[in-house]
Amino acid sequence: MTNLLRKLTWLLAITWAASPAFAADSFSYVGAKKCKACHLKEFTSWSETRMAKSFELLQPGASAEAKKKAKLDPGKDYTADPVCLACHTTGYGKPGGFVSLASTPDLVGVQCEMCHGPGGTFTQKENMSLTNKEYKKADLVKLGLVGEITKTQCENCHNPKSPFYKEFKFEERKAKGTHEKFPLKFKH
């Protein structure tokens, strides 16, 4: 590369990284398998929640009665329907997120990152890791970790755009829908 070209590329990289829109989009999704390696208890407990299995609802024949009532076609395959995928997969349409069942089978259902934030950067080993157990949470929040999970986070999906929307009582749903609270060992 010529010097001029190198300088231009560098300038472009800086301007890009400094733009807030890019910063937000630069946190990519990695999928629950990555988290499982260090958070087996949370993973196991999450696997038993209905959100973990929520992709299956898009298959033909699944929840046929409920679909009929909602005026959807119970015989139709909704597993490639962009409207449904936004709420039944992980990171749909975002960097590293769900694309299709064939190309990103590990990103089906509502996984960890839909509540905790896209982990592409905050799980890098200089950030959240077994060699940096005493990271400062505030630093990870700047890198995409959701600082405090509030009702708003859930309402990204639990809202009237869902054909099956039911009133959303945060505390009640949190108790049965996330995973048990396993206390952290370190202060962050």
Q: For 174, how many CA atoms within 13 A lie in the half-sphere containing its CB?
A: 12
Give me the least distance between CB of 149 and ligand HEC, in Å please: 4
| Identity of the residue, 2 or 166, whose beta carbon is nearer to ligand HEC in the bound complex | 166
Binding site for ligand HEC (CB under 6 A): 30, 32, 34-35, 37-39, 42-43, 46, 50-51, 54, 57-58, 62-63, 66-67, 72, 78, 81, 83-84, 86-88, 110-116, 119, 123, 128-130, 133, 137, 148-149, 153-154, 156-159, 161-166, 173-174, 176-179, 181-186, 188
| Identity of the residue, 7 or 53, whose beta carbon is nearer to ligand HEC in the bound complex | 53
| CA distance linking residue 26 with residue 121, whole number of Å | 8
Give me the least distance between CB of 41 and ligand HEC, in Å please: 8
20-31 as b/e, with b when 16 or more CB fall inside 10 Å? eeeeeebbbbbb
The phi-psi region of residue 71 (left if phi > 0; otherwise alpha if psi is between -120 and 50; otherwise beta) is left
Give me the least distance between CB of 104 and ligand HEC, in Å please: 15
Give me the least distance between CB of 103 and ligand HEC, in Å please: 19
| CA distance linking residue 126 with residue 116, whole number of Å | 18
| Identity of the residue, 20 or 82, whose beta carbon is nearer to ligand HEC in the bound complex | 82
Nearest 5°: CA angle at 44, between 119 and 57? 80
Give me the least distance between CB of 24 and ligand HEC, in Å please: 17
| Identity of the residue, 6 or 50, whose beta carbon is nearer to ligand HEC in the bound complex | 50
| Identity of the residue, 23 or 146, whose beta carbon is nearer to ligand HEC in the bound complex | 146
Burial of 82 (0-12, 13-18, 19+ CB in 10 A): exposed
| CA distance linking residue 36 with residue 55, whole number of Å | 19
